[in-house]
Amino acid sequence: MEKRNIIVMGASAGGIEAFQHFIACLPTDLDAAIFIVWHMAPTVHGILPQLLSRFTAIPAAHAYDNEPVQTNRIYVAPPDHHMLVENGHIRITHGPKENRFRPAIDPLFRSAAYAYGNRVIGVLLSGALDDGTAGLWAIKHRGGLALVQDPQEALVAAMPENAIRQVAIDYVLPVAQLATQLVQLVGEDVSETPQVSMEENQKIKTEIRIAADETALGLNLSEYGQPTRYACPECHGVLTQIKEGPLARFRCHTGHAYSVDTLLAAITEQIEDNLYGAVRGVDESVILLNRLGDKLADANQPKQAGTYFQKAQEALRRGEIIRQAIRSHEPLSLDSLAHQATGTTSDDRFQELHPANTPLITRPM
């Protein structure tokens, strides 16, 4: 009988501290392979393996393409590359960004669920927005376990909170207790992975192939969703909506993928960029109109010059309207909207997720 021994972990903002604390609580002889994705800018030097090595004797390093999977190892996704798990080895790819990140958490979780089924334990720690939620859903859908850091402890609570809202999480605990619980789970016997439909199997395989940097053009994503009116914020291609249980996600034909929360954040951030582009165009027209007016004035053509100066002033007034729109504009996320709608604090939202006297451990014992 097979054992639970594939651990996939993801975090974003606040994740370094959570990873260090978590790894420090693990025994050095843990009989499991650990795969870690941490959101980072593509230009950032990958220092996470060195940092983790200060807290554990388990070997930690950036994974390389086609590296064999071994237990008692920590594999870290290198900067600007997705890390995927295949049966017995690792893929390191430069596939399209998911949720605006590469590496992203969902591709790792999704690939592990596909390759190892109920042998997988997914762990989601501190971070903004909701990368990792769809990946945890895939893990649960194939019989694996989902563990989430207590949002009240997380430096940035949105990522754990979103997962709790949308996925049947097995354990919600502070990091130290989460690590202890994981040690108890590692090595459990597992039965056969639950059967999934042929369509679901093909869809997850297709998305893994996209993250593996295979062209999305010939993979016909429209088979698994419905075209929308939304344009991809990165390449402006048409987004297809993909549904998984209660979750809705979006992917364009070039492969970029978004959760609802990430798409909303990207669109509202792009509005500000577009407004600044309009301000730039207005400012350039003011400069040009004034220069042309000066030349006409020097040429003793005051009437014509006055027309140019007048149009420059009208453009300035329009520019100020756009600047006012920029000042009042705000990037939006589902978390910020929920907070505005209810007027709740982060502590209030935590109590909604965990009513009084409700234990944080949610998996039947």
Residues forming the active site: 12, 39, 131
Rounded Cα gap, residues 336 and 252, in angstroms: 26
Asked if residue 74 lies in contact with residue 59, where contact means CB atoms within 8 angstroms, the answer is: yes
Within 13 Å of residue 77, how many CA atoms lie on the same side as its CB? 33
Q: Collapse the DSSP code of 114 into the 3-class scheme (helix H, G, I; strand E, B; otherwise coil) and give the result.
A: helix
Structure tokens at 296: 């006409």
Asked if residue 185 lies in contact with residue 4, where contact means CB atoms within 8 angstroms, the answer is: yes
Report H helices in the chain: 15-24, 48-53, 105-116, 133-141, 158-166, 175-185, 198-211, 260-298, 302-328, 334-342, 346-353
- Helix, strand counts (H, E) of the chain: 11, 15
Rounded Cα gap, residues 340 and 8, in angstroms: 33
Torsion of CA 40, 139, 69, 2, to 10 degrees: 160
Rounded Cα gap, residues 128 and 238, in angstroms: 25
Q: Are strands 257-259 and 33-38 parallel, antiparallel or unpaired?
A: unpaired
Q: Are strands 60-62 and 73-76 parallel, antiparallel or unpaired?
A: parallel
Residue 78, CA distances (Å) to 65, 104, 189, 252, 257 in order: 10, 11, 32, 25, 20
Asked if residue 172 lies in contact with residue 148, where contact means CB atoms within 8 angstroms, the answer is: yes
Rounded Cα gap, residues 94 and 138, in angstroms: 22
- Sign of the torsion formed by the C-alpha atoms of 125, 129, 131 and 137: positive
Asked if residue 2 lies in contact with residue 190, where contact means CB atoms within 8 angstroms, the answer is: yes
Among candidate residues 52, 45, 60, the one with its CA nearest the CA of residue 15: 52
